[in-house]
Amino acid sequence: MNIPEPEQMDQRRLESINIINALRRGTVPASGLERIAVGLDVEEGVIGKQLDYVAQGGGDTKFIRGEYGSGKTFLVARALEIARTKGFVTTHVVISSSTPLYKLKGIYQQICANLRTNDEEHAIKTIIDNWLFSIEERLLSVSGSEVEDAALEAATEREIEASLSGISEVNSALAAALRTYYKANNAGEFQLAQSALGWIAAEPNIGRDFKQKAGIRGDIDDTIAFIFLRGLVAIIHGAGYRGIAIAVDEMETTQGLQRNQREKGYQTLVQIIDALDRGDMSRCYFLFTGTPAMYDGSRGIRSVPPLFDRISVVQTDAYRNPRQPQIILAKFDTSKLELVALKVVDVYAEAYAEPDRERISHRFIRAMIKKITTRFGGRVDVIPRIFLKEFVDVLDKCELYEDYNPADGYDFDTEHLKGELKKEEEAVMVVRF
């Protein structure tokens, strides 16, 4: 039976389809964000310069501030995309009740679980393998290719220890776990190797058998999580990457905690900023997001003066300065949403076919935005996700059906959105009786 080969697609078209698919689902695309970005050129430039500094061995941070609908999630995703193009490993942590800001082990665990490179998600194994391979390659280049396997393994184990000597002076468990991982892989003991990898990533319920073989007691906890993060950064750089960019999202959930937990979480931020300034966390770039209440409210950052002093802004006039500790995002407006829609039309043309620009006219786009915002109290800033999801549906129908005319056939009803609206969207939705 002859099965025809599927059509070969170039990378640009694959990326275009991925963007449109994500918008259909109401999510942020995984790549190609620069193709639908609007009004972020200055902010992207500042973040890019920070990353260049970190790539040279520095450490830096940025706090992003904005209301719901200002594009915080998009800018974070775009910043991480920029970081990956510059050779960084990236990771995304979401602060929540299960991963509060004061629980350093939980943050470290999410950092490890979400490591991403340009080529791979959940990349911790690949990163560690590349690091170990680079050690072996370096040893072979010095000693020659005729080194026996046993001698190479012993030399590599010594190099693992030497590479993490600064960490081992404080806690030797990371080096011990990495040696166990390396030896288990070489011996074909893949279950043991997986346990070692899980322990390094602070996964729960790692068996006692691994700890006995590695000579390790206990697990990673809040007291050593950032020591292990420094070790992880050393491994990432040794594996050939420029550093790590860490996004810590939705910090505003910290405001709902008890006072001692809130303040402990905010003190964590003070420690991170001071460690970056001292040079103790080189090749680390931290990106934090929060709502204005997180920065200015009585239960927010203002309640801890040392932290507020470190990240407060000088002024907030019309000429925003994103080089200050905070990037302050304005609310999304109609003109920006129109520009995004026009960019989406261009992406759709590369994903499928050129849309009928008469049916999908600028006039129709404006009318569609007005129809949707009317149902959400006139709030353009809360509708981008909903609008883009609806807009892709209109593009699909125009491409599939020649007789479909959205100017006559499109009407917006919220019935089909029941159960999927976010609380900020529900809060402003106008109910029809």
pLDDT in single tens digits along all 433 residues of the chain? 455 556 667 889 999 999 999 999 988 898 899 999 998 999 999 999 999 999 999 999 999 999 887 888 899 999 999 999 999 999 999 999 999 999 999 999 999 999 999 999 999 999 999 999 998 888 887 776 666 777 888 888 888 888 887 776 667 888 899 999 989 988 899 999 999 999 999 998 887 888 888 888 888 888 889 989 999 999 999 999 999 999 999 999 999 999 999 999 999 999 999 999 999 999 999 999 999 999 988 999 999 999 999 998 887 677 888 999 999 998 888 999 999 999 999 999 999 999 999 999 999 999 999 999 988 888 888 889 999 999 999 999 999 999 999 998 888 877 777 767 777 777 777 755 4
Q: What is the DSSP letter of 317?
A: S
How many Å apart are CA 192 and CA 172, to the nearest integer? 19
Report CA-CA distances (Å) from 357 to 14, 60, 154, 382, 399: 23, 45, 67, 27, 11
How many Å apart are CA 214 and CA 181, to the nearest integer? 9
Nearest to 417, CA basis, from 400, 395, 399, 393:
393
User: What is the structure's pLDDT at 78?
Assistant: 95
How many Å apart are CA 134 and CA 146, to the nearest integer? 17
H helix or E strand, kind and range, residue 91: strand 88-94
- Amino acid of residue 341: A
287: phi then psi, degrees, rounded to nearest 5: -130, 115
Q: What is the separation, in whole angstroms, between the first and last Cα of the chain?
A: 59
Using DSSP, state whether 184 is helix, strand or coil: helix
300, 293 Cβ separation under 8 angstroms: yes
120, 84 Cβ separation under 8 angstroms: no
Report the predicted TM-score, pTM, of the whole model to 2 decimal places: 0.88
CATH number for the region 29-117+241-328 comes to 3.40.50.300
User: What is the structure's pLDDT at 432?
Assistant: 56
Rg, C-alpha atoms of the chain:
25
Residue recorded with tokens 């109401």 = 26
Using DSSP, state whether 141 is helix, strand or coil: helix
User: What is the structure's pLDDT at 205?
Assistant: 82
H helix or E strand, kind and range, residue 361: none
- Amino acid of residue 294: M
How many Å apart are CA 301 and CA 297, to the nearest integer? 7
How many Å apart are CA 188 and CA 206, to the nearest integer? 19
User: What is the structure's pLDDT at 20?
Assistant: 96
Nearest to 311, CA basis, from 282, 280, 288, 284:
288
Neighbour-count burial of 396, counting CB atoms closer than 10 A to its CB (0-12 exposed, 13-18 middle, 19+ buried): middle
User: What is the structure's pLDDT at 136?
Assistant: 85
* Residue spans per domain, the chain: 29-117+241-328, 124-225, 334-428
User: What is the structure's pLDDT at 409?
Assistant: 82
User: What is the structure's pLDDT at 209?
Assistant: 83
371, 412 Cβ separation under 8 angstroms: yes
User: What is the structure's pLDDT at 433?
Assistant: 40
Tokens of 328: 């302050």
User: What is the structure's pLDDT at 338?
Assistant: 94
User: What is the structure's pLDDT at 47?
Assistant: 97
* Residue 167: CA count within 13 A, CB half-sphere: 25
Neighbour-count burial of 261, counting CB atoms closer than 10 A to its CB (0-12 exposed, 13-18 middle, 19+ buried): middle
